Amino acid sequence: MLKLTFKAGGPSEVALDKPRITIGRDKSNTVVLDAAGVSGFHAEIQVDDGKAYLVDLGSTNGTFVNGKKIAGKVEIKAWDSLRFEKVEAEIVDTEKRRPTQVSRAVTDADLKAGGQATQVRPAVSNWKLVGKTGPVAGKTVTVTGKLVVGREDGVDLKIDESTVSRRHAEISLEGGVLKLKDLGSANGTFVNGQKVTEATLKSGDEVRFDKVSFGVEGGAGGAARTSVRPAVDPNATVIGKAAGTQMLPTAGASLKGADGKSHALSGEVTVGRVAGNTIVVEDATVSGKHAKLTCAAGTWTVEDLGSTNGTFVNGKKVTSQALKGGDKVRFGKVEFSFEQQDTASGTQAFNAIDDATRPKKALGGGLPTWAWGLIGFVIVGAALGAWFGLGGGSSPTDAKLQAGKSWAQRLTNDR
């Protein structure tokens, strides 16, 4: 049902369930606007065949729809903004969700602009909120003190989304620590997919207000979340034919949708249709909490959580299944591609120790190879000396033999 609602200080909301609703300063109107600049009979709303029309009744200061002054009869729809001189109102549909519309991110220039009530403190901060979804994607808000997030005018970060509360949450920087506090919002505040009332934020966290999410950057938390790859262990299991090739942990994985959008996987990842899941899939064939993905020893596994329409891997219905790069994972009728960096890219080769480079064990008797080479050389020399000695009639033990020959002869006799 359509209703006419007014901003703070205005009349109570009015259901558009009558053929004719008059608006003006005169007490006989259906909606009385006791404000300067509003004419006695300013405008009227006509409802005909399920449609609503706004008609200006020749007011002095005009009637406006979405910022444009109207003349005559104009159709109005849910979420249209109306203004009667300076009195602002809106058409709402109590049975439908407001289309997502996020205002641009607040910048330092906005806060410093003249006439703004908010003053920028001189404090230096490297804490930032970076928009990740919708129109705020890539836009940055620097946090220097207290930042109130909500839908109403006057908050520090305004998000024009019906499921975001008027004053939804508060982010504050105290002593270099970034804190988040939910202000009793209707649909909750989430950090890394978990609903929270209060939380201390770290660099790399994802903060979500309904479906509008921001990444947290800066502060000392970034260093704390840095992932360090283990050093190569020389005693690690060797993979493949090349001796010494050691497999390192594989790089991060992701699910890539048909629209080309990739969802990085980290920790426990839940997939489902309702808010609160890590990956929200708005499709009627996907259950509220459909499946989860977990990683152990570098291997990701998908597990069905009792979904109505099942979880599939490469076309086969599964309850739990280990995944590998390139697998097609389907939740109901929505399919994703599981992507993971090739294990080859995570392979590090160090100098192989094989038979060609390994120090040899000594041959029989415990002598090293070089010793046997020297002995062979001496034996050949001794043999030549003996031959020459026989030819000259001299004894092999003659004192005239060279020291090397004599030694060789004694060695031969000893053996």
Q: Where in the chain are the domains?
A: 2-93, 128-217, 253-340
The most confident of 4-13, 241-250, 320-329, 336-345, by mean pLDDT: 320-329
CATH code for the domain defined by 253-340: 2.60.200.20
- Average pLDDT of the chain, as a whole number: 76
| Core vs surface per residue 398-407: b (16+ CB within 10 A) or e | eeebeeebbe
Task: Decide if pLDDT at 395 tops 70.
Answer: no
Confidence of residue 170 (pLDDT cuts 50, 70, 90): very high
Res. 366: pLDDT tops 60: no
Domains 2-93 and 128-217 share a fold: yes
pLDDT band at 351 (very low <50, low <70, confident <90, very high): very low
- Predicted confidence (pLDDT) at residue 346 exceeds the cutoff of 70: no
Across 347-396, the runs of DSSP E, i.e. the strands, are 347-349
d(CA 60, CA 37): 8
CB atoms within 10 A of CB 199: 18
Q: Does the structure show a pLDDT above 90 at 165?
A: no
Query: Rounded to an integer, what distance in angstroms lies between the CA atom of residue 201 and that of residue 216?
Result: 8
Mean pLDDT check: name the lowest of 4-8, 30-34, 213-217, 218-222. Answer: 218-222
pLDDT value for 118: 46
- CB contact at 8 A, 303 and 319: yes
2-93 has which fold?
Answer: Tumour Suppressor Smad4 (2.60.200)
Closest CA to 16 of 68, 76, 67: 76
Give the long-range contacts of residues 125-129, CB within 8 A, separation 24 or more: 125/173, 125/218, 126/218, 126/219, 127/173, 127/178, 127/216, 127/217, 127/218, 127/219, 128/216, 128/217, 128/218, 129/105, 129/157, 129/171, 129/207, 129/214, 129/215, 129/216, 129/217
Residue 298 confidence (pLDDT): 82
Say whether pTM exceeds 0.85. no
Which range (124-138, 182-196, 229-243) has the least confidence? 229-243
Residue 365 three-state SS: helix
Fold for 128-217, please state it. Answer: Tumour Suppressor Smad4 (2.60.200)
Q: Is the pLDDT of residue 140 over 50?
A: yes
Could you report the per-residue pLDDT of 79-101, keeping only the tens digit for each? 899 999 889 999 988 776 666 45
397-410 pLDDT tens trace: 444 445 555 554 55
- Looking at residue 248, its pLDDT comes to 40
